[in-house]
Amino acid sequence: MEINGIAHVMLTVSDFEACRVFWGRLLPELGLTPLIDSADNYYCIGGRTAIGIQRGNVGDRFDQQRSGLHHVCLRARERQDVDSLHELLVEMGATVVHPPREDEWAPGYYSLLFEDPDGIRVEMNHVPGKGWLKKD
């Protein structure tokens, strides 16, 4: 058995209105199409996955060190997509934890790390070819 990617990611946010504005701008720019847009949920599909937010407890902000989600990483098709996303995030006034840079996580690993208005950390990376799975 082998999985075929991740079907969807749902994020529970404490400031739904601010997060709805943020994700409502970001997800369509990443090629995802809104499927649900209600008072308590925003859910988009595309790129063989879906990402959604749902209203949570007010004031209960994300804590990366608490048990549960550490961060979400989206895979870019091209290295330039990471740079383009960085430009968009700067335009949006988003919190950028680190701008695009190379790291040693895999051969050619190039990534950007940012936060949504609730402090949920999101990464976008590009790894050329098959990364660690390449055959020599």
What top-level class would CATH report for the domain 70-136? alpha beta
- Which has more confidence, 55 or 104? 55
pLDDT at 130 (0 to 100): 66
Kindly report, residue by residue over 19-39, the tens digit of the pLDDT.
999 999 999 999 999 999 999
The superfamily CATH assigns to domain 1-58 is: 2,3-Dihydroxybiphenyl 1,2-Dioxygenase, domain 1 (3.10.180.10)
pLDDT beyond 70 at 133: no
**Considering only 12-21, 58-67, 87-96, which range has the smallest mean pLDDT?**
58-67
* DSSP assignment of 37-102: E-SSEEEEEETTEEEEEEE--TT----TTSSS---EEEEPSSHHHHHHHHHHHHHHT-EEEEEEEE
- What percent of the chain is predicted at pLDDT more than 90? 73
Q: Do domains 1-58 and 70-136 have the same CATH topology?
A: yes
Kindly report, residue by residue over 65-81, the tens digit of the pLDDT.
787 888 999 999 999 99
- Which has more confidence, 39 or 107? 39
**Considering only 2-6, 73-77, 94-98, which range has the smallest mean pLDDT?**
2-6
113: Cα separation from own chain's centroid: 9
pLDDT at 59 (0 to 100): 77
pLDDT beyond 80 at 124: yes
Query: What residue spans define the domains of the chain?
Result: 1-58, 70-136
